[in-house]
Chains A and B, each alone.
Chain A
């Protein structure tokens, strides 16, 4: 993106943007594994830690001055009976719709989630169709051409990854980040944040009050 290169040389101050990214797709296509590979660079079934928030964050450096932080929301199983809350879609700026390239019906199901996103999410959300399990490419049932044709038809991005091997995961998130509005002024999320009260941070207002 030319605008970033120019800003890199003219403005030395660092740019930081934060985005909400949601994952969608059927159960067992590897949504959580993709997140894990991206955030912890591991592929493990031993998910031992007790995590309350169920969204993970990961930061990527696009260039020396530009940092993008993803707040990644997983479905927490609520997609199983199509019972995702409207909160899930709210203000999501990016979505990965995941399918399994080794499962015939998988792409069809992904199409449902793309439709759902178009219904529920912001109209300017950046959607990426993600074919997972590239490590099992000899068992592939859905060709790259087929998926790509569908993605092009809807004008959404497409990438193929393997959460197991890690292949293409970072590039995929990087591509998403490059598509997002990085200019702080147009980043509505950052503006929104300023006005809200962070419940986890109680200022020491008692002293201020005493001053009178």
Chain B
């Protein structure tokens, strides 16, 4: 067995003798005697078990740091928890009374009709639901860290765009573009041309073109350059790219669309996955477990009261103290009362979560239990300025009982307008599902035109764009039953759909220095993480965790640099690692050949 390379911390001269040996004991720490209080000392104290903090805890623990990870709640996940109905009730109460541990959320409105038919434990409700692109840094980390073994993942194939009062499914693979009968030949050509550009955007010629259009809005760029129709642009920009704002610039939009396209066919004919039984809250638990295996200590229900940057003593609400030799990292939601250094949170995300009494299987692809729906700007009666993004989680996702479905709507619009927009989106979703799930269902108005035969002649699919349109005059006979409705606003310092920037942490450490004179703040010297961004994919999580890691360890060279030796999976994993780096190129090559042939 090869020795693990000494961690960064071990290589620091001051730490030569106090570090653990280079071989991490299997199931470390389990058999130590019960400790009456918190440990006396640790290298890093992390407050809040959100996803970023959990990834950080695991990375530090495997690197060899002695991590104490606490959360003021009795459950894992902090700002991105996955909660039961009862926990949601308590959560709303805490948010509205502005309790410590719930900073960064406001105006939680909860509606559960009486009689309450919900069995609390049957539900897993995400505070910040996210989807996992098949080719993304978090997915690679899940594999590398083995955390995926604690979780179950399911595919998500359908990305619908709401247009002209109906849902269309984007023709996003080349196969679909070829067979989509709603597209004219010239449209097909332009779309294929654009996709080729997206795939090869880093070759010299395209990179130069892109550099020229660095600040050109994407919408304008594709309109002029590719003569795409507004509907197509909406689908590309907001549905495939999941862009947040109508004025997104060309390079940003391109890389977001590319993210979707290169994720296709990594695991199958779908671009994204989600973790069953809950999203970020579930994955957080996985990373915390990994950290615990590497020796981190976990203590829920523990609130940080203050940190003294001179004595390096952190004090908790219950009076216990811990000496922190390196850093305290704290989620802004769990900042000590009276804190003065939490990062400014100027961006808003408004979320509406509902549970409806319908399985909504009409929206899912065969074998899937989830879908994404996007309302592009100005597509709603509320004249939404920003897109409203929706994640639909059906009963197969393990988040709700059979015959029910959870809808998560969100927007980066601010204030009351945001609430109007998501309500407006909800209304449209309701109309659509009633229309599409009416008993008469597929018998109506279908003709041969609506059946698309795939090139191989076997499979046939129903053209969902047309299907939606045929129901335009539909008046629903029944009403949809809402079993649960939750609305709240969350604040964040991460730019909409951006990635946490290093400046946040630089600012924290600068303040640490400049504020040495000023005293009295209970959070002097604390490094704050960020509230979750508005992004509905997991992108940005690993980046933020790495930035925090670097601010503690000095570099991210040994971020999860561990050779696991789980005997019964050794072969599988070594193949996996090879695939990991090679797969991007393979895909691109393959796509290019195909394109050359066609165009």
Which residue of A57, A192, A209 contacts B152 across the interface (Cβ within 8 Å)?
A: A192
Give residues of chain A (121-168) contacting chain B, Cβ–Cβ below 8 Å: none
A54 with B293: CB separation less than 8 A: yes
Is A14's beta carbon under 8 Å from chain B? no
A48 with B282: CB separation less than 8 A: no
User: Which listed segment binds B: A4-12, A60-68, A72-80, A169-177?
Assistant: A72-80
A200 with B456: CB separation less than 8 A: no
Is A211's beta carbon under 8 Å from chain B? yes
B150 with A87: CB separation less than 8 A: yes
B143 with A200: CB separation less than 8 A: yes
- B179's nearest neighbour on chain A, judged by CB, is A212
Which chain A positions have C-beta within 8 A of B23?
48, 50
Which chain A positions have C-beta within 8 A of B151?
87
Give residues of chain B (285-306) contacting chain A, Cβ–Cβ below 8 Å: 285-286, 288-290, 292-293, 295, 297-300, 302
Which chain A positions have C-beta within 8 A of B299?
81, 83
Which residue of B154, B175, B298, B367 contacts A209 across the interface (Cβ within 8 Å)?
A: B175
B562 with A50: CB separation less than 8 A: yes
A87 with B565: CB separation less than 8 A: no
A202 with B564: CB separation less than 8 A: no
Which chain B positions have C-beta within 8 A of A202?
266-267, 576, 579, 583
- A47's nearest neighbour on chain B, judged by CB, is B26
A52 with B562: CB separation less than 8 A: yes
Contact code string B557-587 (vs A, CB < 8 Å = 1, else 0): 0000011111111001100100100010011
Is A82's beta carbon under 8 Å from chain B? yes
**With A51-B26, A200-B569: A205-B76 Cβ-Cβ less than 8 Å:** no
User: Which listed segment binds B: A26-34, A110-118, A178-186?
Assistant: A26-34
A50 with B34: CB separation less than 8 A: no
Is B204's beta carbon under 8 Å from chain A? no
Complex: A177 Cα to B436 Cα, angstroms: 46
Is B148's beta carbon under 8 Å from chain A? yes
- A207's nearest neighbour on chain B, judged by CB, is B590
B186–chain A nearest beta-carbon distance, Å = 22
Which residue of B26, B277, B302, B572 contacts A200 across the interface (Cβ within 8 Å)?
A: B572
The A interface is mostly helix, strand or loop, or mixed, namely loop
Which residue of B30, B152, B455, B573 contacts A212 across the interface (Cβ within 8 Å)?
A: B455
A105–chain B nearest beta-carbon distance, Å = 10
Is B25's beta carbon under 8 Å from chain A? yes
Chain B, interface size category, equals: 35 or more
A86 with B76: CB separation less than 8 A: yes
Which chain A positions have C-beta within 8 A of B24?
50
Is A1's beta carbon under 8 Å from chain B? no
Is B75's beta carbon under 8 Å from chain A? yes
Give residues of chain B (16-48) contacting chain A, Cβ–Cβ below 8 Å: 23-35
Complex: A212 Cα to B176 Cα, angstroms: 11
B1 with A49: CB separation less than 8 A: yes
B31 with A52: CB separation less than 8 A: no
What total of chain A residues lie within 8 Å of the partner, measured CB to CB?
46
Is B85's beta carbon under 8 Å from chain A? no
User: Which listed segment binds A: B237-245, B268-276, B407-415, B480-488?
Assistant: B268-276
- B300's nearest neighbour on chain A, judged by CB, is A83
A205 with B30: CB separation less than 8 A: no
Complex: A210 Cα to B139 Cα, angstroms: 25
Is A196's beta carbon under 8 Å from chain B? yes
**With A195-B367, A206-B590, A210-B590: A57-B139 Cβ-Cβ less than 8 Å:** no
**With A78-B289, A202-B267: A49-B565 Cβ-Cβ less than 8 Å:** yes
Complex: A134 Cα to B563 Cα, angstroms: 37
B265–chain A nearest beta-carbon distance, Å = 4
**With A206-B590, A212-B456: A48-B25 Cβ-Cβ less than 8 Å:** yes
A90–chain B nearest beta-carbon distance, Å = 6
- B299's nearest neighbour on chain A, judged by CB, is A81
**With A52-B566, A53-B146, A200-B148: A86-B26 Cβ-Cβ less than 8 Å:** no
Is B280's beta carbon under 8 Å from chain A? no
Which chain A positions have C-beta within 8 A of B33?
27-28
B175 with A212: CB separation less than 8 A: yes
Which chain B positions have C-beta within 8 A of A211?
456
A195 with B154: CB separation less than 8 A: yes
A65–chain B nearest beta-carbon distance, Å = 23
Which residue of A26, A30, A85, A199 contacts B289 across the interface (Cβ within 8 Å)?
A: A85
Complex: A212 Cα to B597 Cα, angstroms: 12
Interface centre among A31, A83, A209 (most CB of B within 10 A): A83
Is A203's beta carbon under 8 Å from chain B? yes
Is A55's beta carbon under 8 Å from chain B? yes
A205 with B32: CB separation less than 8 A: no
- A26's nearest neighbour on chain B, judged by CB, is B34
A120–chain B nearest beta-carbon distance, Å = 9
Complex: A72 Cα to B293 Cα, angstroms: 14
Which residue of B29, B31, B139, B454 contacts A199 across the interface (Cβ within 8 Å)?
A: B139
A209 with B590: CB separation less than 8 A: yes
Give residues of chain A (87-110) contacting chain B, Cβ–Cβ below 8 Å: 87-88, 90
Which chain A positions have C-beta within 8 A of B34?
26-28, 80
Which chain B positions have C-beta within 8 A of A26?
34
Which chain B positions have C-beta within 8 A of A27?
30-34
B298 with A205: CB separation less than 8 A: no
Which residue of A32, A49, A76, A90 contacts B292 across the interface (Cβ within 8 Å)?
A: A76
Complex: A80 Cα to B139 Cα, angstroms: 30
B467–chain A nearest beta-carbon distance, Å = 23
Which residue of A53, A86, A197 contacts B566 across the interface (Cβ within 8 Å)?
A: A53
- A74's nearest neighbour on chain B, judged by CB, is B27
Is B142's beta carbon under 8 Å from chain A? yes
Which chain A positions have C-beta within 8 A of B583?
202
A86 with B1: CB separation less than 8 A: no
Is B232's beta carbon under 8 Å from chain A? no
Which chain B positions have C-beta within 8 A of A195?
154, 367, 369, 396
A71–chain B nearest beta-carbon distance, Å = 9
Which chain B positions have C-beta within 8 A of A55?
149
A44–chain B nearest beta-carbon distance, Å = 10
Give residues of chain B (248-275) contacting chain A, Cβ–Cβ below 8 Å: 265-269, 273
Chain A to chain B contacts (Cβ below 8 Å), 7 pairs = A28-B31, A52-B564, A53-B566, A81-B298, A81-B300, A200-B576, A209-B590
Q: Which B positions have Cβ atoms within 8 angstroms of A?
A: 1, 4, 23-35, 75-76, 139, 142-143, 145-146, 148-155, 173, 175, 178, 265-269, 273, 276-277, 282, 285-286, 288-290, 292-293, 295, 297-300, 302, 367, 369, 396, 454-456, 562-569, 572-573, 576, 579, 583, 586-587, 590, 594
Top 6 nearest A-B pairs (CB, nearest first) are A52-B564, A47-B26, A52-B146, A85-B285, A76-B292, A54-B293
Q: Which A positions have Cβ atoms within 8 angstroms of B?
A: 26-28, 30-33, 47-55, 57, 74-78, 80-83, 85-88, 90, 192, 195-197, 199-203, 205-206, 209-212
